[in-house]
Structure 1
Amino acid sequence: MSSHETWSDYIAKWTTKYINGYQNRCSERVSNPIGTKHDNILDDIIISSISKLTSSEIEQIKFAHRLSMSAENIGGALLEEYLSEELIQYKWHCCWGETLKSIDFCNENGKLLQIKNSDNSENSSSQAVRNGTAIMKWFRRHAKKGTTNWDALNTLLNITDLNKTLSEAKYKAFVKRVLVSNPDALFIEGDNVWQ
């Protein structure tokens, strides 16, 4: 809170951040277009290495890459929304809209949790926030192994009922449900080669 701000102003701003974050979750939002244009030198790099590729195949590679980037852009938000739906029964609440800086979930006992999509996706500010604190951290996948880490989350949060444990299969079902009900959650370029 800044020195010129009243508690009322601060609470109003905090509440607005929370509501905006909640209303902008993947199941409800329209994703923004990719802001950067394709760098044509990438085509030359690929053709120089695999000369038998046709221009049509290069176009497919270009659009597939951009589509993957678009999917990667919403991966963390999908994970956060899935966990918000699943963890509420354990009294964990999503900190929508960065209402707690660098904290994704808090529970009713004051515990704090950061989540990451991958063990290699943490930035230094997220790490710095945890130093010297009791903030717990969990990541979904081991980047180098290609395996998932759901068992660690179930253990961390003491989820022992086999019917309620969190898993990659349940997460994938959630992702499919969200994207079927809200196809605009994933930005797909209108001039892509598959239309």
Structure 2
Amino acid sequence: MGKFMVVILTVVFLLAGCSSDEKPNEHNVKELPIRSHAKVVAEGDFVYRLVSEKSVYTEGEKVEVYAELEYVGDEPEIKIAHADSPFYFPMKEKTRNYDIGYGMKEPLRVTVLKKGIPLREIFKPRGGYSSDDQKEYVDYIKALWEASNKGTLLQGDYQVAGTAMFNPLNESMVSQESFRLNAEIEFLVEKPKNKE
């Protein structure tokens, strides 16, 4: 009887190992590992992801936010035209009610996207200020630059309205359409808890 149970259990384990709960998705996109904060937008042959590895960071902790653009069409690769980057990261700090723009140089660049291999860019604030802005805002932006140079952000409630803007190019390097994929995520940067 013992050998029979061992054989039955072995067969059950083999069958369980061969079964799969995977469901094919319409774009054959590799599933992201579970993340605390991610938005995924698909349009045509492209998938745009805006990701924060955490929903809450501690002030001084590295903030891990990035965008990805993945080509999922039929060709092995495709060229896209864009400004300095296809990714924009304007944001709002909701506690202070500050809009933080995202300036970028706008030369025409061409990037090759290989099917199934995401193009990734790490988020870094690029907000600026003018002589008309209030001193508090100017001081905040300067402190934000200093923090972001270390990979961190100041304490606050952040909303990132990410965008991927690009034009796919055909074999003649001519664009026939343009894409603007938008996603929005939020995360907090909190003061460190006092250690007593």
TM-score range, shorter chain: under 0.3
TM-score, normalising length from structure 2? 0.26
TM-score, normalising length from structure 1? 0.26
User: Based on CA coordinates, which of the two structures has the bigger radius of gyration?
Assistant: 2
Give the structure with the higher percent helix. 1
